[in-house]
Amino acid sequence: MNAPVIQKDISCMDDFDPKSLSPDIALKKIKSEITPVKGVEKIAIRSALNRVLAEDIYSGINVPSGTNSAMDGYAVNSKDIPTGVVAGLRVMGTSWAGKPFRGGLSTGSCVRIMTGALMPEGTDTVIIQEDVERAGDNIKIDGKTKKGDNVRQAGEDIAVGDLILNRGRRLNPADIGLIASLGIAEVSVTRRVRVAFFSTGDELRSIGEELTDGDIYDSNRYTLHGMLSRMGAHIIDMGVITDDKDTLEEAFAIASNNADVLITSGGVSVGEADYVKEIMAKLGRVEFWKVAIKPGRPLAFGRVDNAVFFGLPGNPVSVMVTFYEFVQPALRKMSGEKDSEILTLKARCDSKLKKRPGRVEYQRGILQKDENGELAVFKTGAQGSGILSSMSQANCFIILPMESGGVEPGTVVDIQPFSSLI
Ligand code: AMP
Ligand code: MG
Q: What atom in ligand 1 is closest to the CA of residue 313?
A: 2
User: What's the 129 CA to ligand 1 centre distance in angstroms?
Assistant: 71
User: What's the 316 CA to ligand 1 centre distance in angstroms?
Assistant: 7
Q: Are 260 and 194 in contact (CB under 8 A)?
A: yes
Helices (H), 170-242: 173-181, 220-230
User: What's the 270 CA to ligand 1 centre distance in angstroms?
Assistant: 13
Q: For 146-168, write each residue's pLDDT tens digit.
A: 999 999 999 999 999 999 999 99
Which ligand has an atom closest to residue 224 CA?
1
Predicted confidence at residue 5, as pLDDT, reads: 63
Percent share of the chain, pLDDT over 90: 81
Quick check: helix, strand or coil at residue 239? strand
Ligand 1 neighbours (beta carbon < 6 A): 199, 201, 203-204, 216, 218-220, 265-269, 271, 274, 313-316
Whether 196 and 185 share a structural domain = no
Nearest residue to 310 via CA among 265, 279, 278 = 265
Whether 87 and 210 share a structural domain = no
Nearest-CA residue for atom 11 of ligand 1? 314
Predicted confidence at residue 282, as pLDDT, reads: 84
Which ligand has an atom closest to residue 202 CA?
2
Q: For 295-326, write each residue's pLDDT tens digit.
A: 988 899 999 988 999 999 999 999 999 999 99
**Domain boundary, last residue among 152, 178, 211:** 152
Q: For 95-139, write each residue's pLDDT tens digit.
A: 999 999 999 899 999 999 999 999 999 999 999 999 999 999 999
Q: What atom in ligand 1 is closest to the CA of residue 219?
A: 20
* Backbone dihedral region for residue 153 (phi beyond 0: left; psi -120 to 50: alpha; all else: beta): beta
CATH code of the domain in which 252 resides: 3.40.980.10
User: What's the 404 CA to ligand 2 centre distance in angstroms?
Assistant: 31
DSSP 46-58: GG-TT-BBSS-EE
User: What's the 243 CA to ligand 1 centre distance in angstroms?
Assistant: 12
Q: For 12-33, write each residue's pLDDT tens digit.
A: 456 777 788 999 999 999 999 9
Phi, psi (degrees; rounded to nearest 5) at 369: -90, 140
CATH code of the domain in which 173 resides: 3.90.105.10
**Is residue 274, in this structure, part of any structural domain at all?**
yes
**Is residue 12, in this structure, part of any structural domain at all?**
no
**Is residue 14, in this structure, part of any structural domain at all?**
no
pTM: 0.86
Average pLDDT of the residues in 253-260: 95
Query: What domain count does the chain have?
Result: 4
Structure letter (DSSP) for residue 79: G
Handedness of CA 400, 311, 192, 232 (dihedral sign): negative
**Is residue 289, in this structure, part of any structural domain at all?**
yes
**Domain boundary, last residue among 334, 353, 372:** 334
Whether 80 and 106 share a structural domain = yes
Whether 47 and 144 share a structural domain = no
Which ligand has an atom closest to residue 214 CA?
1
Whether 138 and 220 share a structural domain = no
Q: Which domain holds residue 354?
A: 345-420
Whether 29 and 44 share a structural domain = no
CATH code of the domain in which 94 resides: 2.170.190.11
Whether 253 and 132 share a structural domain = no
User: What's the 274 CA to ligand 2 centre distance in angstroms?
Assistant: 6
Whether 112 and 132 share a structural domain = yes
Whether 133 and 72 share a structural domain = yes
Nearest-CA residue for atom 5 of ligand 1? 314
As separate numbers, helices (DSSP H) first and strands (DSSP E) second, the chain gives: 8, 26
**Ion ligand 2 residues within 5 Å by Cβ:** 201, 266-267
**Is residue 398, in this structure, part of any structural domain at all?**
yes
Average pLDDT of the residues in 184-196: 98
Best of 265, 278, 290, 388 for a ligand 1 pocket test (most atoms within 8 Å of beta carbon): 265
User: What's the 199 CA to ligand 1 centre distance in angstroms?
Assistant: 8
Quick check: helix, strand or coil at residue 177? helix
Predicted confidence at residue 340, as pLDDT, reads: 78
**Domain boundary, last residue among 314, 334, 354:** 334
Best of 11, 202, 216 for a ligand 1 pocket test (most atoms within 8 Å of beta carbon): 216
Whether 114 and 176 share a structural domain = no
Nearest residue to 55 via CA among 147, 183, 184, 143 = 184
**Is residue 230, in this structure, part of any structural domain at all?**
yes
Whether 324 and 217 share a structural domain = yes
**Is residue 4, in this structure, part of any structural domain at all?**
no
**Is residue 10, in this structure, part of any structural domain at all?**
no
pLDDT level of residue 88 (50, 70, 90 thresholds): very high
Whether 307 and 235 share a structural domain = yes
Beta bridge partner(s), residue 99: 96
CATH code of the domain in which 415 resides: 2.40.340.10
